[in-house]
Chain A
Amino acid sequence: MLGFKEIKNGLLVSLWFVFLTFPLMVVKVDPVERIVRWRWENSLYVAIGTFAVFLLVKIIIQRRSRNAAVDKEAEQKKESFIHRVLASPRQKFTLIALLLAVAIVFPLFSSSYQTNVMTTALMYVVLGLGLNIVVGMAGLLDLGYVAFYAVGAYSYALLNHHFDLGFWAVLPIGGGLAAIFGILLGFPVLRLRGDYLAIVTLGFGEIIRLVLENWSEFSKGPSGISNISRPGLFGIEFGLDGAIIYIYYLMIVFMIVTIFIVNRLQDSRLGRAWIALREDEIACQAMGIDKRKTKLVAFSLGAFWAGIIGVVFAAKTTFINPASFTFLESAIILAIVVLGGMGSIVGVIFGALILILLPEYLRALSEYRMLAFGAILVAMMVFRPQGLISNIRRTYHSDKKFPSPTQQ
C-alpha cells in the first residue's frame, strides 16, 4: 500500500518541518530575565505529527484515486446518508420532528449554562445561514460580515440606553439599519471583482470597529455599553434564568424562520439568479439579469440577518464592546459556511454546531480553537471544496425518450 518511497518522502517532509518550526517552537526567550529555554521535545512532536499527517494524506489520496478508477458511476449515485434522508419526505419530516422535540425539551433537562451555549450555537447557525446567502449562493466573499452584526448590536444597545426602546421595537430597526449599511457599502463596491471585494469588506469591517472604539461620545469607546435590557414578552419581565430559556426558544423560532426563508429563496427566481451570477457573470448578464441589483439584494439580505442576530446578541449578553466584533468573528462565520458546504443549508447548520459546540465541550482544546479554524479552512479548500454536506443541484431526470428533432 505505502511503498518505501512514501516513507522516505514522509521523513524528508517531517525533517523540513522540524527545520521550519525550529526557532518558534524550540527556542523561547525571556528578554527581561534574559533566559533562553530550549524546548527540544517540541521538535520531536513536530516530526512525529508531520510524518503521521503526511502518511494520512497520502493514504487518502491513494484511496480516492483508486475509488475513482474503479467505479466512477457508482460513486456518483451513492449519496450521503443525510441526502438520502432529505430526499424522502417521510424520513425528512420524522427527522425534523425528532430534532424539534429534542430542541424543545433541551432547556428543561440542562443547566442554564448549557442552554446559554446552545443559544450561542443557534445564533451562529443563523449568522452562518445569513452569510451563506452572500458567500454560498451569490459567491461574494464578504470578510466584513461582523460589521453588520455590530451595527445590529449597537443599534439595540444605544436605542435602549438613550430612548429606552424595547427588544421587539429595535429588532426590525437593527436589521433594517444593517441592511441599509449593506446597501451603502455594496452600492460602490459590488462592481469590483471577487478578491478585491473581499479586501474592501474586510477594510469596512475594521473601519466600523475602529470607529466604535475611538468615537467615545457615541459608543462609549472600548469600555462598551452595559445594562442593556433583556427581551420581554408582552410586558412580562423575566429573571436571569427565565431570560436565558426565553432567548433560547426565541433563537429556535428565529432559526426555523430563517431556514424556511432561505430555503424558499434558494428555489426562487432570485436564488437561481444568485447561483447563476456565481457561476458566470457575463453569461448571466446576457440572460437579462440585472447584475448590480441582484448582488445588492444578496448583500443587504445577508446584512439584515447579521443585524437581527446582533440585536439578539446585545440582548443576550446585556453588555457589548467593540472587542466582540473583530475580524476573527467574521473568520469563524466564514469557517462555518465553508466547513458545512457553501450554498448548503443543512451543511451550514452542521458546520455551526460542530465549530461552536465542539470547542465548548472540549475545554482542554479550546486554546487550539483558532488554530483548528485556520487549518479547517485550508484543508477544506484543498481536499473537499464542496464542504461536509454539499449542496446537491436539483436535476431533472426523464424516463421518456424524447424524439430528437432530426427524427421528426
Chain B
Amino acid sequence: MAACFRFFFRDPGMDYFIELFCSGLTRGAIYALIALGYTMVYGIIGLINFAHGEIYMIGAFTAFIVATVLSIYGFPLLAIVILAGFAAVIWSSAYGYTVEKIAYRPLRHAPRLSPLISAIGMSIFLQNYVLLAQTSNFLPFPELIPEFAFMEPIAHIVGSTDIVILITTAVIMLILTIVIKGTKVGKAMRATSQDRTMAMLVGINVNRIISATFIIGSALAAVGGLLIASHIGQINFYIGFLAGIKAFTAAVLGGIGSIPGAVLGGLVLGLTESFATGYVSSDYEDVFAFSLLVLILIFKPSGLLGKAETKKV
C-alpha cells in the first residue's frame, strides 16, 4: 500500500497538485456541511438564514469549552471527542431552534426584507454575545484527531484530519439523504418546501417541520464547526462570519434549495479556493470566494443544480 502511494507521489509537482486537491476536498466538505443548513432553510421558508454562520461558531465554541474542560479533568481522548461532539450538536441545535422562534417565526408573513434584516441583527447579536461571554482572542483548539500511524508515508500530502473530515462528512451526508428520502419527517419537509399551504392542508404541522429543519441544519453546522476547529487548531468569535458567507456561496453555487447542489457547490468552492491560493496568490484567498459568488449570481443565479424560479402574478 505504502509502496503504491510512493510510486504515485514521486513527482513533486504532482505532489503539490494532490496536496492542494486534498486540502480543497477537505475544505469543500466542511463548506458543504454548513451549506446544507442554508439550503435546507432556504428550501423550506425562502429565507437566507444569516445567523447560520454564528450557529456554526457557537458549535465550535461549545466543543472547545467541553473538550478543554474534560481534558483538564483528565478524561481519555475518545470520551472527549464523543462528549464534545454531542455537546456541540445539542447546543447548536438549541440555538438554531431558539433563533428561529425569536427572530423568524413572528415574521413569517412579513415582507421579504424583514426576516433578512432580523437575521442580520441576530448574527451581530450572537457574535457579540460570544465575544462578551468569552473572549475576543484566538483560542487554541485541542487536537482531537490523532495522527494515524498508517498514514505515515503520505502524511506530508494528506493529513489524518483530512481523512477523518472526509469520512465523517460522507457518513453524515448519507444519513441526511436517508432521513430526507426515507423518514416521515423528511417527507413532510419535502412537502413543506414544495407548498407550505398545501402541506398544512394535508395535516403537516408546518411550524414543527420548520423547527426540525433548523435543528438539523444547526446540528450539521456544529459538526462542521467541530471538524474545522480541530483541523485549523484555533477559534475566535468571528469565524462564523466568513465561514457563513463561504458556505452561502457554496449553497448558491450548487443551486440554493437543492441538497445535492449544496454538496457539489461546497466541493467546487473548496477546490477552487485551494487551487487559486496554491497557484495564484494566498493574499486574496477570500476574494476568490466572493468573486465566485458575485459571478455565479450574475450569470447563473439558479446555480449548478437548481431550478430557475419563475414568478407568477
Contacts and interface: CB of A to CB of B under 8 A. Distances in A.
Contacts of B287: 207, 210-211, 214
Contacts of A194: 112-113, 116
Interface string B116-141: 11101111111111101110000110
A31 B61 CA distance: 13
Contacts of B68: 29, 31, 36
A24 B58 contact: yes
B294 A338 contact: no
Interface stretch (A73-81, A243-251, A372-380): A372-380
Contacts of B139: 31
Interface in A174-198: 188-189, 192, 194-196, 198
A233 to B, nearest CB: 40
A212 to B, nearest CB: 11
Given A23-B65, A206-B286, A206-B290, A374 B123 contact: yes
Contact of B132 (A31, A139, A206, A371): A371
A370 B124 contact: yes
A371 B128 contact: yes
B160 to A, nearest CB: 22
A200 B48 CA distance: 12
Nearest to B285: A210
Contacts of A171: none
A34 B252 CA distance: 42
B72 A206 contact: no
B258 interface: no
Interface in A154-179: none
A385 B106 CA distance: 11
Contacts of A203: 245, 249, 290, 293-294
A206 B288 CA distance: 11
A96 interface: no
Interface string B135-173: 000011010000000000000000000000000000000
Contact of B117 (A211, A327, A338): A338
B87 interface: yes
Nearest to B95: A20
Contact of B69 (A27, A328, A334, A374): A27
A370 B107 contact: no
A373 B124 contact: yes
Interface size class of B (residues with CB under 8 A): 35 or more
A298 to B, nearest CB: 15
A331 B61 contact: no
B125 A367 contact: no
A207 B291 contact: yes
B31 interface: no
A379 B284 CA distance: 37
A334 B133 CA distance: 25
A25 interface: yes
Contacts of B125: 371, 374-375, 377-378
A189 B48 CA distance: 17
Contacts of B117: 141, 334, 338, 377, 381
A108 interface: no
Contacts of A35: 72
A28 B66 CA distance: 10
Contacts of A34: 72
A204 B124 contact: no
A173 B284 CA distance: 28
A32 interface: yes
Given A139-B113, A200-B297, A382-B106, A373 B129 contact: no
Which of A31, A34, A374 has the largest count of B CB atoms less than 10 A from its CB? A374
B276 to A, nearest CB: 13
A24 B129 contact: yes
Given A141-B116, A367-B132, A374 B294 contact: no
Nearest to A30: B68
A375 B103 CA distance: 10
B21 interface: no
Interface in A194-231: 194-196, 198-200, 202-204, 206-207, 210-211, 214
B113 A374 contact: no
Contacts of B293: 199-200, 203
A29 B72 contact: yes
Which of A282, A368, A382 has the largest count of B CB atoms less than 10 A from its CB? A382
Interface in A372-403: 373-379, 381-382, 385
B241 interface: yes
Contacts of B311: 282
Which of B115, B124, B245, B252 has the largest count of A CB atoms less than 10 A from its CB? B124
B110 interface: yes
Contacts of B66: 23
B248 interface: yes
Given A214-B287, A282-B313, A374-B123, 5 more contacts: A23-B61, A24-B61, A378-B102, A381-B110, A382-B107
14 contacts: A16-B98, A24-B65, A36-B69, A141-B113, A189-B297, A194-B112, A194-B113, A196-B252, A199-B252, A331-B120, A368-B128, A373-B124, A374-B124, A374-B128
